[in-house]
């Protein structure tokens, strides 16, 4: 099979997905933050309640990258959106249009599902990706700041502390 193919992931892809997540984390200099397991991914991506979806990119039959996404909701638009958690293309396949094909597929899904937007975060230092996204017409949301609660702070808040 020649060329690039974008397909929906299946439960059989869990080892590949985890491998790609680890590669992405290494690229983003965040390897020490990956605690995901195959069991956890299998349950949360393909179990009774699917929290996210994954697209797999293959180039000439070889795994080339992935996109992991889920729905969010805009109260201002009154519509769902798609939040792209991870987009990764293996280094040896970069420049072949695979990242663009993954984003085109996501944009089509957003349109089919009547979503009002497709959004994601990018690390400030990741100039190659920032340039790529700007060429597609994406704009930074500089007037917003991301906040996160995790770990002990999340546990404390959940306990009412």
Place 161 in a pLDDT band, splitting at 50, 70 and 90.
confident
130's enclosing H/E stretch is helix 127-135
Q: What percent of the chain has pLDDT over 90?
A: 92
Residue 122 has φ and ψ, to the nearest 5°, of: -140, 140
Q: What domains, with CATH codes, occur in the chain?
A: 4-158 (3.40.630.30)
Position 32 scores a pLDDT of 96
Hey, what are 23's tokens? 């590669």
The answer to whether 4 touches 98, Cβ cutoff 8 Å, is yes
pTM of the model: 0.92
pLDDT tens profile 101-125 = 999 999 999 999 999 999 999 999 9
Position 1 scores a pLDDT of 47
pLDDT tens profile 33-49 = 999 999 999 999 999 99
Query: How many beta carbons lie within 10 A of that of residue 105, not counting itself?
Result: 16
Q: What percent of the chain has pLDDT over 70?
A: 99
147 in catalytic set: no
Hey, what are 120's tokens? 């994601």
The answer to whether 31 touches 13, Cβ cutoff 8 Å, is no
Query: Which of 27, 83, 88, 133 is flagged as catalytic?
Result: 133
Mean pLDDT estimate for the chain? 95
Position 6 scores a pLDDT of 98
């Amino acid at each position: 099979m020649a060329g690039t193919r974008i397909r929906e992931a299946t439960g059989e892809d869990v080892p590949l997905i985890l491998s790609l997540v680890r590669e992405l984390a290494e690229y983003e200099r965040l390897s020490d933050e990956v605690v995901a397991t195959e069991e956890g991914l299998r349950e949360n991506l393909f179990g009774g309640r699917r929290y996210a979806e994954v697209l797999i990119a293959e180039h000439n039959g070889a795994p080339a990258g992935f996109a992991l996404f889920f729905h969010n909701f805009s109260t201002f638009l009154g519509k769902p959106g798609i939040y792209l958690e991870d987009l990764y293309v293996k280094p040896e396949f970069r420049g072949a249009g695979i990242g663009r094909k993954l984003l085109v597929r996501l944009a089509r899904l957003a349109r089919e599902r009547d979503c009002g937007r497709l959004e994601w975060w990018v690390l400030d230092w990741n100039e190659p990706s920032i340039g790529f996204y700007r060429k597609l017409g994406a704009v930074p949301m500089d007037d917003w700041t991301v906040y996160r609660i995790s770990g002990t702070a999340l546990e404390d808040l959940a306990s009412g502390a």
